[in-house]
Structure 1
Amino acid sequence: MTGSGRAGDPEVTVVLVGPPPRPGPSPALDSLLAQSIWLRRPGALQLLAAGTGGAAVAGCVELFGDRQRVRGRYLFFLGTGERLAEQALERLVGLADRAGADVVLGRTAGAEQPAFERELFERTREQVGFTDSALAYALPQARLFRRAALEYHGLPTLGLDPSCDPRFALPFAVEACLRSRRVAVLGGVDCLLAAAPEAPDRPRHEERLRALAAALVVAERLAEPGAEAAALRDWAFGWELPRLLRPDFLTLEVAAQRRLCAGVGRLVERYCPAAEYQALAPRDRLRLDLARRGRAAALRRLIRYQAAYGEPVGYRVAGEERPVAVLPAQLGPSLVLHVWRGLVPAQVRRRLRRRPAWRGLMNRAYARWGQGPSQGELRDVTAV
């Protein structure tokens, strides 16, 4: 399982995946031509571009010696809309050889990263795991794989459907990392540079949900019980699933929203223990709870509220990037009642209104705010 290959074999087989590139210059192919490892030894790279088509791709495949058989010591998955930094492959292969790593992660410039993932890429690390680092959160950055290790463990040599976006290859990345002898991180430099999209991405929530569901199946089968399995569940339910219920959820058709809620509910019921579920951030747990109960309309209202009053995210609607406010507004009576009406069923609100203790509680709340309720608010609090 050395991965050394035969004399004269390429160092890296680059698998070009994703939708066919548009006519004209291809950022991905141009970046391959500029790779330092290839400029030093033209035979160091092999390109497989199944499913991408196009004259430019065909010419580049011929240039890189595509024989429709993976021959490189390492595999690297490159999306058709991405481009590589000039020394990316040389640095990644050098670290893999030096550390004896079967998987190497490289940072993508401009990728959405929580603070702990940014910390992961601050310096080069020759060995990381799911329990001692933010490896799970950086799985889309796992692109270089030792071919011999994949073959030894019976993982598909190509690993991805040719039309698949590498960002959704979570099951493959999880299994490769769990089975590897060592996972390394190349820090301090950007390896991938995301190309500017020619058009807004279509919503891909259901694809992401399917990828996450398959990754959880792999994790349940291969992760060590205890800390490792818990770390992967924390990533899935504390990060990946809540990301599906952010403002871009509102751009989906209502039927797709309902399907997504049903899928979220199945994953929570199947894989998330009650204690871990209760330990999630309240904001995320509230969204997940509405989704698992199929309350898509209430979820839409909650997402709008969270976006407007304190969730620092942006979303794209009809090709326009719309920022949302990040500073929480003062929680006055009208705002609280708006959220209350959106989340609590009308029949429950009616039962509460009949109780003197509830009316007293509401009056004390208004007194604390330093103002009395309006007539409409008063009806919502006290009307039978």
Structure 2
Amino acid sequence: MTVAQPDVTVVIGAYEAMPYLVECLASVEAQTLDPARIEVIAVDDGSRDGTGDCLEEFAARAPMDVTVIRQANSGGPSGPRNVGLSKATGRYVFFLDADDRLGAEALERMVAMADKNGTDVVLGRVEGVNRTPPRSMWGETLDRTDVYSSNIKFTLSAQKLFRREFLERHGMRFDESLWTGEDALFTMEAYLRADGVSVVADYTCYYLVGRSDGKHVTKSGSYTLRFDSARALMGLLERLVPPGPKRDVLMVRPFLVTVLPQFGPVFLRNDEEIRRTKLELAKPLMDAYWNEGVAQRLLVHERLRLELVARGRADLLVDVLEFIQAKSKPAPVLKKRGTQLYLAYPHYGSPEAGVPDRIYLAEPREAKAYPGWRKNPTETFLRGFVRKVRRKASRVRRTARPGGGAAAA
């Protein structure tokens, strides 16, 4: 008798996951999707706390097909995920961390969303349990979107539903040379190659659990690993996205999420050797990828700090960080009849520092919070005109399609 292909393979990479694994597995068992349509591949990555035995017990009682693989510790989540992916037979694959858990309807809703829209990746709403989850991408459920026109670039964890045929077609696997950020590389590549991405925002599909013991499947490692992660992600964007506004939009993510935190309050606590090493590691990234298109998409204090990193000016950066840490507020400086607002963080207007005034210029989203600032009427008119032209062109394209209205008639 031919066994029907499961709808989804849940890949669980587990390392020292007790007791969190118990609730994780219970959430899989509680899925509203028919158990016959679920396959579980669980990989114990060399645990010594009973994780492997717990997985074996689950496999013996679970109503769905469960395969348990026990292997020597690989040092990170990439190895177990790749092993699980290589054994998967489902139409879709979902990567579930052993200390997290699923909402009861998660798999049913995500599979239905992918089937309905023919999309290759589905994101399910995430909530945190003793942990801060990503938030900006859950404003509304989206049948079909992409990485440029939504905020999905700010959630690059692996806990998504992926069409398995799509992953196999592109030969996609997690980079086992990275000790952190491997999921960001994998997920960003999937976003860029996907024929559409869906977002389930009206139901909590995933609970991101903060562990009190600090034992996550990913080892945190040193700050140097963060630069490895940023370098890999920036290199991927360089390979897959031509230079221009689209690449700049995506480059914001590694600069903001991975590079900038290394030059935040922690930099003040670093000794001189670590400060020097951080600037040396950042230099090739700044030389290759830092540009005006990325800079203008950041807040002034973010842009200023990265500009000082690009210039190798640790002395000026320390002044800015101390100013921010003291919760000082930069004085607003209005120019050009109130249409330009500069925020006078340390060294603004200083010939000795040599930082261009444009670095301190607030973009409209930041400037609008300050009394006295007003939009440039010429710029506002031009933007409105461009929007009207684009809407008109879009209507023309729609009516020109077969069955699209008057043009088709």
What interval of TM-score do these two structures reach, taking the shorter chain for normalisation? Answer: 0.5 to 0.7
The 8 Å contact of residues 18 and 164 in structure 1, kept in 2 or not, is answered as no
- Work out the CA distance in 2 between the residues paired with 1:220 and 1:329: 35
Q: Quick one: structure 1 residues 330 and 274, their matched pair in 2 at CA, closer, same or farther if it must change by over 3 Å?
A: closer
Native 8 Å contact 2:9 2:91 kept in 1: yes
The corresponding residue for 1:242 is: 260
Describe how 1:130-145 pairs up with structure 2 within 5 A: 130-140=147-157, 143-145=160-162
Correspondences of 1:1-384 after superposition (within 5 Å): 7-17=3-13, 19-22=15-18, 26-37=22-33, 40-42=34-36, 44-51=38-45, 53=47, 54-60=49-55, 62-63=59-60, 64-66=65-67, 69-110=87-128, 112=132, 118=136, 120-140=137-157, 143-156=160-173, 159=174, 161=176, 168-199=182-213, 205-249=223-267, 255-274=273-292, 276-277=294-295, 280-296=298-314, 299-300=317-318, 302-309=320-327, 328=329
Instruction: Give TM-score scaled by structure 1 length.
Output: 0.67
1:67, CA displacement in angstroms?
Answer: 6.4
Alpha carbons of structure 1 residues 95 and 281: separation in structure 2 relative to 1, 3 Å: same
Partner Cα distance (1:231, 1:243) in 2:
19
Distance 1:278 1:160 in 2: 31
Q: Which runs of 5+ in 2 are unaligned?
A: 70-86, 333-344, 354-409
Does the 8 Å CA contact 2:8/2:94 hold for their aligned counterparts?
yes
The alpha-carbon distance between structure 1 residues 180 and 297, as it changes in their structure 2 partners (threshold 3 A), is same
Question: Can you list the C-alpha shifts for 1:260-288, whole angstroms capped at 9, x where unaligned?
Answer: 33332221211223454366432112221
Q: How many residues align?
A: 312
Displacement, 1:217? 1.3
Alignment check: 8 A CA contact 1:17 1:163 kept: no
Check whether the contact 1:48–1:66 (CA below 8 A) recurs between aligned residues: yes
Give the match's secondary structure for 2:199.
Answer: strand
Q: 1:264 to 1:74 in 2, by over 3 A?
A: same
Q: Measure how far apart 1:58 and its partner are.
A: 4.1
SS of equivalent to 1:29 = helix
Shift of 1:226: 3.5
Distance 2:300 2:185 in 1: 28
Change (3 A) 1:278 1:121: closer
Give the whole-Å Cα distance in 1 for the aligned partners of 2:321 and 2:258.
16
User: Which structure dedicates a bigger proportion of its chain to helix?
Assistant: 1
Deviations 1:336-367 (A, max 9, x none): xx956xxx99xx69xxxxxxxxxxxxxxxxxx
CA distance, structure 1, for counterparts of residue 108 and residue 177 of structure 2? 24
3-state SS, counterpart of residue 66 of structure 2:
coil
CA distance in 2, matches of 1:211, 1:11: 32
How has the CA–CA distance of structure 1 residues 171 and 71 changed in structure 2, closer, same or farther, with 3 Å as cutoff?
A: same
* C-alpha distance 57-33 of structure 1, shift in aligned 2 (>3 A): farther
Counterpart contact for 1:131–1:227, Cα < 8 Å = no
Alpha-carbon distance in 1 for matches of 2:213, 2:265: 19
Any conservation in 2 of the 1:171–1:212 contact (CA below 8 Å)? Answer: no
3-state DSSP class of the match of 1:139? coil
* Root-mean-square deviation (Å): 3.8
Partner of 2:359: none
Deviations 1:166-220 (A, max 9, x none): x651111111111111111111222221223214585764433322221211111
Give the distance between the partners of 1:192 and 1:22, measured in 2 at CA: 19
* Further displaced range: 254-263 or 40-49: 254-263
Change beyond 3 A, Cα 1:208–1:78: farther
> What secondary structure sits across from 2:55 in the alignment?
helix
Summarize the Cα distance change of 1:23–1:234 in structure 2 as closer, same or farther, 3 Å threshold. Answer: closer
**TM-score normalised by structure 2 residue count:** 0.64
- Tell me how far apart the structure 2 counterparts of residues 78 and 257 of structure 1 sit (CA, whole Å): 36
SS of the residue 2:124 aligns to = strand
CA contact (8 A) 1:17 1:162 kept: no
3-state SS in 1 of match to 2:160: strand
